[in-house]
């Protein structure tokens, strides 16, 4: 990481005064602190979605297999309802008191709620109350995630030199991909190690318990860092606001609306092409659950590896070329690739998923910096989080459910492709309205 996160000047983007408040070693620690905590958050989200076909039977035993899966994904969506609330709560804390404290509480809450899923009694022990408790755990996960995405983006980008915001911000997305990847690897490892009987009886609990333990690492790293240079400068200049949400709604309505539509691509592609894909491959294309996890793991590894290169490129050529390539490319290629995946060749499936990952990495490399550059420091945590997480509710909450429902209703296994195209078109239209921000100072 150290070789990549250098301070060498990028074209048209000079260093600012705040760039000299932190040395390279401190910045690397900041990326690690923001990234590891964020990875834990998204590991927790990923294992719920990946293991839904396994544990759904324990909480919804009196339903058909299809209904069990729909019920599990409905609870996956329930967690999203809390994300805008989490963005407001943690954003208010983060803009008024400080980024570090808010992010520390976010990772504590996510770890505890994830651990609780791993130790919940099932329907056979307490009946309907089991599903109620699972729903409560998902609500707490959603509350935490609402503060994490915007908070970690804010934290990492505010630590970046002016000429490296794309590269630094891209590590936020690497951490998301790493969280998904870790969730896929752990789920695959448990699935391949244990017998089917053991996996169904108690093995599904292990990844959730591990998620709770991993949160301690993220918490430790976050507690051992100072506030971001941008936030320190805002404090010194008395620009910290006591009402970040009110100021966001009053002064930054346009940018908040842009963050909302910008998030359509993120949420639709992540939750269809990454989170939902193992389930899709096993339930719709006839591959084993293990093959689905293997394909997901390979895809996520490629995705994570490509993101920093795209972030670095966005510092040199600008954000918009990469954003256009991702949204237009996926809008045009998603349906053909879904059709190609239906050929029955597992190698072809992996090749298609890798192409998806490379196109998504263009957006993820430039994406976090673009969002952070929309808002001033005094409201960035709140405004970025609210805009993004309201979009997550609208576009992401029901993504796995919608994909499952579309297949059931239409009888077409390529039906989820249309939802991906829908999200890409929305964000593409928004990008045409954005101004290039890569070579301007962080507001």
| pLDDT digits 0-9 by tens, 218-230 | 788 788 878 888 8
CATH class of the domain whose range is 23-239+252-431: mainly alpha
Q: What percentage of the chain has pLDDT greater than the value 90?
A: 36
Question: Does the pLDDT of residue 11 top 50, yes or no?
Answer: no
The predicted pLDDT at position 379 comes to 93
80 pLDDT band, cuts 50/70/90, is confident
pLDDT in tens, 248-271: 989 999 999 999 999 999 889 988
Nearest 5°: phi and psi at 13? -140, 95
| Residue 220 buriedness (CB in 10 A; 0-12 / 13-18 / 19+) | middle
CA distance 347 to 185: 19
Is residue 321 classed as helix, strand or coil in its secondary structure? helix
Question: Does the pLDDT of residue 290 top 90, yes or no?
Answer: no
CA distances from 129 to 59, 63, 125 (A): 9, 16, 9
Residues 6+ apart with CB under 8 A from 23: none
pLDDT in tens, 305-324: 999 999 999 999 999 999 99
Lookup: tokens for 51: 């293991």
The predicted pLDDT at position 195 comes to 86
If we measure between CA atoms, which residue out of 123, 121, 16 comes closest to residue 60? 123
CA distance 3 to 161: 15
The predicted pLDDT at position 21 comes to 62
Q: What is the DSSP letter of 436?
A: P
pTM of the predicted structure, to 2 decimals: 0.82
CA distance 388 to 395: 10
If we measure between CA atoms, which residue out of 335, 383, 288 comes closest to residue 87? 383
């Amino acid at each position: 990481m150290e070789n990549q996160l250098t301070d060498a000047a990028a074209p048209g983007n000079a260093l600012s005064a705040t760039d000299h408040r932190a040395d390279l070693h401190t910045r690397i620690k900041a990326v690690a602190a923001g990234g590891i905590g964020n990875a834990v958050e998204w590991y927790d989200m990923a294992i719920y979605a990946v293991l839904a076909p396994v544990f759904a039977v324990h909480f919804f035993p009196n339903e058909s297999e299809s209904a069990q899966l729909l019920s599990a994904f409905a609870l996956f969506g329930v967690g999203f309802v809390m994300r805008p609330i989490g963005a407001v709560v943690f954003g208010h804390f983060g803009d008024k008191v400080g980024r570090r404290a808010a992010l520390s509480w976010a990772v504590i809450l996510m770890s505890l709620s994830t651990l609780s899923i791993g130790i919940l009694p099932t329907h056979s022990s307490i009946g309907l109350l089991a599903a109620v408790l699972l729903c409560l755990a998902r609500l707490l996960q959603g509350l935490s995630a609402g503060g994490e995405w915007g908070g970690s983006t804010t934290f990492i980008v505010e630590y970046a030199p002016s000429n490296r915001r794309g590269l630094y911000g891209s590590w936020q997305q690497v951490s998301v991909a790493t969280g998904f990847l870790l969730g896929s690897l752990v789920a695959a490892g448990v699935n391949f190690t244990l017998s089917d009987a053991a996996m169904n009886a108690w093995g599904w609990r292990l990844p959730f318990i591990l998620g709770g333990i991993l949160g301690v690492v993220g918490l430790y790293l976050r507690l051992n860092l100072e506030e971001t240079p941008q936030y320190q400068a805002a404090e010194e200049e008395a620009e910290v606001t006591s009402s970040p949400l009110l100021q966001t709604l009053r002064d930054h309505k346009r940018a908040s609306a842009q963050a909302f539509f910008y998030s359509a691509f993120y949420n639709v592609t992540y939750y269809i092409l990454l989170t939902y894909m193992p389930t899709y491959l096993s339930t719709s294309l006839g591959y084993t659950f293990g093959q689905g996890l293997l394909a997901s793991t390979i895809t996520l590894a490629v995705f994570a590896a490509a993101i920093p290169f795209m972030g670095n490129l966005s510092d040199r050529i600008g954000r918009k070329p990469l954003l256009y390539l991702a949204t237009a490319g996926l809008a045009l290629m998603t349906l053909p690739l879904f059709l190609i995946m239906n050929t029955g060749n597992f190698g072809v499936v992996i090749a298609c998923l890798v192409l998806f990952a490379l196109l998504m990495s263009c957006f993820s490399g430039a994406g976090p910096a673009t969002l952070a550059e929309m808002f001033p420091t005094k409201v960035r945590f709140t405004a970025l989080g609210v805009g993004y997480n309201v979009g997550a509710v609208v576009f992401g909450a029901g993504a796995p459910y919608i994909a499952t429902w579309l297949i059931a209703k239409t009888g077409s296994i390529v039906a989820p492709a249309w939802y991906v195209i829908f999200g890409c078109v929305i964000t593409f239209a928004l990008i045409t309205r954005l101004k290039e921000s890569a070579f301007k100072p962080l507001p």
